[in-house]
């Protein structure tokens, strides 16, 4: 089975392709000639994932899946949430985003947070949603050089390391994206 993953993020493609069986091949947006930035203007993570998947299906005619992820911090009333990628501005800099988040949490004792990923799958004219949540906390400083985004400052529950310190295989089993992707994979295997 070949399916389009509606993202321009090579890190996400690599992470998810590594979790898929050989029988499922991801096709990139570039491969289908989609070079434009797909809108992500919705107010929720779910709506953004739906918007991206629908864009590819409607404009290019492919079965596809799209994800959206947000980091939700308790002490900041769920911020950055749907704005996680551009928390510190439209330049979408992971370093700037982490710096801003750590600054906003400087005087907070509650550092509990969760990553939430929603994957929308458009397959054979139907739409399905898969959600993954990873609970944990925001560290006081950055640690590790694996992963991407907020990984260096997010320590998942029951671990001493941040996502950026964990091996990819471990992260894929416990992360928000890993959990949602495992649900997606189970579904795709059953509905080939």
Residues annotated catalytic, as ranges: 68
* Residues paired with 133 in a beta bridge: 116
Q: How far apart are CA 122 and CA 94, in angstroms?
A: 29
Question: Pairing relation of β-strands 25-27 and 2-5?
Answer: parallel
* Residues paired with 137 in a beta bridge: 112, 155
Residues 66 and 120: beta-carbon distance below 8 Å: yes
* Residues paired with 119 in a beta bridge: 67, 130
Q: Which of 12, 10, 91 is nearest to 49 (CA)?
A: 12
In a 10 Å sphere around its CB, with 0-12 CB exposed, 13-18 middle and 19+ buried, how is residue 87 labelled?
buried
């Amino acid at each position: 089975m070949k399916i389009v993953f509606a993202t321009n993020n090579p890190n996400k493609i690599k992470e998810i392709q590594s979790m898929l069986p050989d029988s499922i091949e991801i096709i990139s947006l570039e491969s289908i000639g989609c070079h434009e930035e797909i809108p992500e203007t919705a107010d929720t993570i779910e709506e953004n994932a739906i918007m991206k998947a629908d864009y590819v299906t409607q404009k290019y005619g492919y079965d596809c899946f799209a994800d959206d992820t947000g980091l939700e911090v308790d002490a900041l009333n769920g911020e950055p949430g749907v704005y996680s990628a551009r928390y510190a501005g439209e330049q979408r800099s992971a370093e700037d985003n982490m710096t801003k988040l750590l600054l906003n949490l400087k005087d907070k004792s509650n550092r509990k947070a969760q990553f939430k990923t929603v994957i929308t799958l458009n397959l054979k004219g139907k739409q399905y949603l898969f959600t993954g949540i990873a609970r944990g906390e925001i560290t006081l400083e950055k640690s590790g050089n694996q992963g991407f985004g907020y990984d260096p400052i997010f320590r998942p529950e029951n671990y001493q390391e941040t996502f950026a310190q964990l091996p990819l295989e471990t992260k894929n089993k416990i992360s928000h994206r890993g959990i949602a992707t495992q649900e997606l994979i189970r579904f795709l295997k059953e509905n080939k």
